[in-house]
Amino acid sequence: MNSNPVCTLEELIATVPDGAKIAVPADYSGVAMAATRALIQRGVRRLHLVCVPVGGMQTDMLIGAGAVATIETSGVTLGEFGAAPRFAEAIQHGAITLMDATCPAIHAALQATEKGLPFMALRGLLGTDLLASRKDWKVIDNPFASGDRIVLIPAIKPDIALFHAPLADREGNVWIGRRRELVAMAHASQRTLVTVEEISETSLLADEKTAAGVIPALYVSAIARAKHGAWPVGLWDHYAADQAALADYAVRARTQDGFQSLLGGSFDHEAAAAE
């Protein structure tokens, strides 16, 4: 546990090395978009993204910026705004390595690491074409029932879990409410980096109303305050997604030139205003 986990956003991002395996949440779970923009501006490279369990705008931006070498995910989408254009083009041109998965497989592989296990067994993957592309997944006979086939998937052990949350305290405890997938990410990762809307001066574990929804500081390496740090993606119960900004991204990111104009233009200016 870090005795002083509070730092600036720049200090937090500086601890992310090139080539890191980073677990990031789905849009509904608190996406660290301010941190994502800072990573892109810093020029991070060769990331291995683990989407828990799907990626959205954050994933698409990192791919478009050339920051990603490998992605492990059950999908990447902009939701109602359509396909993720930078992801789609990168796959078409072989610019990144795709480790295709399913939502249960991603969650199970993180849970394996939580439990200190080398793998987790799943049955629902049988009969899918994923088994042909995922050579690291093994189909075996259930040792307790002859002829009963089962799939073993290796544990996922991220170097870093990165997400945005509403609240933390100065001890490093982070309130995530009912977003239990963030707990699995923090437990499975070697380090957890969190941006938050606010930092409390009193311990979140001292209040029964907040304690049950807290990731203890034991699992948190660093926190940084980033007001509206999930913008333009929303943050549950705090602010909605910026539909206009998401729609603009979906259109302009269809080309690499359009994507670059977003990074160097109005997108950053709007982000600064939101934060």
Sign of the dihedral through C-alpha 61, 27, 247, 38: negative
CA 112 to chain CA centroid, Å, is 18
CA-nearest of 71, 82, 36, 76 to 54 is 76
Q: Identify the pLDDT of residue 265.
A: 65
CB 189 within 8 A of CB 177: no
Q: Identify the pLDDT of residue 141.
A: 95
Q: Identify the pLDDT of residue 96.
A: 98
Query: What are 49's two structure tokens?
Result: 């993204």
- pLDDT by residue for the chain (275 residues), tens only, comes to 567 999 999 999 999 999 999 999 999 999 999 999 999 999 999 999 999 999 999 999 999 999 999 999 999 999 999 999 999 999 999 999 999 999 999 999 999 999 999 999 999 999 999 999 999 999 999 999 989 999 999 999 999 999 999 999 999 999 999 999 999 999 999 999 999 999 999 999 999 988 999 999 999 999 999 999 999 999 999 999 999 999 999 999 999 999 999 987 656 656 666 66
Domains of the chain, each with CATH number or no CATH: 6-103+156-264 (3.40.1080.10), 119-154 (no CATH)
How many Cα neighbours within 13 Å face the side chain of 120?
19
Q: Identify the pLDDT of residue 164.
A: 98
Q: Identify the pLDDT of residue 3.
A: 76
Q: Identify the pLDDT of residue 118.
A: 98
Spatial distance between the Cα atoms of 157 and 154, rounded to a whole number of angstroms? 9
Spatial distance between the Cα atoms of 174 and 32, rounded to a whole number of angstroms? 14
Q: Identify the pLDDT of residue 190.
A: 98
Query: What are 175's two structure tokens?
Result: 């309130």
Spatial distance between the Cα atoms of 203 and 207, rounded to a whole number of angstroms? 8
Give the 3-state DSSP-derived string for the chain, with helices as H, strands as E and coil as C.
CCCCCEECHHHHHHCCCCCCEEEEECHHHCCCHHHHHHHHHHCCCCEEEEEECCECHHHHHHHHCCCEEEEEECCEECHHHCECHHHHHHHHCCCCEEEECCHHHHHHHHHHHHCCCCEEEECCCCCCCHHHHCCCCEEEECCCCCCCEEEEEECCCCCEEEEEEEEEECCCCEECCCCHHHHHHHHHCCEEEEEEEEEECCCHHHCHHHHCCEECHHHCCEEEECCCCCCCCCECCCECCCHHHHHHHHHHCCCHHHHHHHHHCHHHHHHHHHC
Peptide bond into 85 cis (omega under 30): no
Q: Identify the pLDDT of residue 8.
A: 98
CA 21 to chain CA centroid, Å, is 10
Peptide bond into 158 cis (omega under 30): no
pTM: 0.95
